[in-house]
Amino acid sequence: MYLVLGATEMVGAHLVCTMLRQGFDVRATKCPCDNTEYTKNILSLYSDDYENLYNEIEWVDADYDDPESMASVMEGVCVAFCCIQPTLTGKVSISHNVERIRNIAAAVRDSECEYMMYLSSVYALGEEPDLNDISEKSQRNPKGKYTKMSDAYYQCEMEVWRAMQEGLKAGIINAASVIGPGDWKFDRSKFVSNALMRNYYTDGVSGFVSINDLVKCIMAMAKQRICNENFVACGHNLCCKDLIYLFAKGLHADPPSRKASRIRIMFWKMRYAMQSLMEKRRPIVDDEFFHDLTQFRTYDNSKSINRIIISYEPIEDTINMVCALREKSLALMATSSK
């Protein structure tokens, strides 16, 4: 049995979809605030038989704050994929997120589970001088200024490293910004279409990875049981302006023609934050996403290419796939609403 924690988020849902289509037995955790329909929607993008695939998932209630709850979730599991991303909404602090990861790691270590793959982020990594590529070896500056979300990723990852020193058999993926289909209303997928409608672009440079390539990296690490190592999963370093232009082309829309000012970006940030508070869910995009819109950060993916993935798919193919699935989803939504 393979366990996916965070199966109602973009990466976890795509991982579940891939594993089901390959015939794996999948158990997925759900918390009271999780929407399992999100996972079903992801399945529907790739298979006409999505209802039967969805019914093959063994959903289990989980409380990441309760060690006993996590211990029962681990029964009969051989590999656990922890795809839970930090949440900093309401009263949930960084230390609360770290405590959840501590409970999960302890439950895996104390069970008969053979391996845990932990999904982290490139935001947990350090910086490099002179605009050099950031790699797995990049160290964080103790006096550096980082966003709260970056600190959350870092401290959660450090908790996994600590658990590995205590005997946990695990590996870590530091994922760049993920490009993939999702819920066109309530996750990052919405931001692309909104940016096009507003006719603005930004000139930041950052790393991006296809959801398909990221899932390949995750499964390759688990298959090889690579322990006590981390890998940067980044397909391409790209200017945000070029990314939006490619999406405009894929959606048959006019490309943005005006550069967004910092004030306008801050307005977008506050708007998305207020929207998430009103709808009582995590923001569509986090602080690091807005940081990437104006900053220059590139990533070295050579270790992942040499060890866990032969090559990353062309960025144009990724974007064309996302655009095609978006048009398919919106067409189905329009048909069903009639």
In this predicted structure, what is the pLDDT of residue 47?
87
| Gyration radius from the chain CA atoms | 19
Which 8-state DSSP code applies to residue 63? Answer: -
CA 262, 266, 269, 271 torsion-angle sign: negative
Which residues have CB under 8 Å from 159's CB, separation 6+? 98, 101, 102, 105
Who contacts 271 (Cβ-Cβ below 8 Å, separation ≥6)?
none
Comparing CA positions, the residue from 330, 229, 241, 228 lying closest to residue 294 is 241
Distance CA 1, CA 77 (A): 5
The encoded tokens of residue 157 equal 């990852």
pLDDT in tens, 200-235: 788 889 999 999 999 999 999 999 999 999 999 999
pLDDT along the chain (338 residues), means of 10: 94 96 94 89 89 94 90 94 87 91 95 96 90 92 86 96 96 94 64 61 89 96 96 95 87 83 77 66 62 84 95 93 82 61
DSSP 8-state code for residue 129: G
Residues in the chain: 338
pLDDT of the residue at 295: 82
Contact 186, 284 (CB under 8 A): yes
Question: Residue 48: what pLDDT?
Answer: 86
**Please, are residues 295 and 240 in contact by the beta-carbon 8 Å criterion?**
no
Position 255 scores a pLDDT of 83
Q: What pLDDT was estimated at residue 73?
A: 93
The closest alpha carbon to 296, from 238, 209, 234, 232, belongs to 238
Please name the residues in contact with 149: beta carbons below 8 A apart, sequence gap of 6 or more. Answer: 86, 88, 123, 286, 287, 288
Residue type at position 290: F
* Residue pair 238/205 in contact by the 8 Å Cβ criterion: yes
Phi, psi (degrees; rounded to nearest 5) at 297: -140, 120
Question: In a 3-state reduction of DSSP, which class is residue 119?
Answer: strand
DSSP 314: P
Q: Which stretch of DSSP H or E encloses residue 244?
A: helix 240-250
Residue 332 confidence (pLDDT)? 66
Note the pLDDT of residue 280: 57
For the chain, the farthest-separated pair of C-alpha atoms sits apart, in whole angstroms, at 57
DSSP state of 87: -
Supply 209's token pair.
């990875």
Strands (E), the chain: 2-5, 26-30, 58-61, 79-82, 115-121, 170-175, 177-179, 200-201, 205-210, 230-233, 236-239, 258-259
Model pTM above 0.85: yes
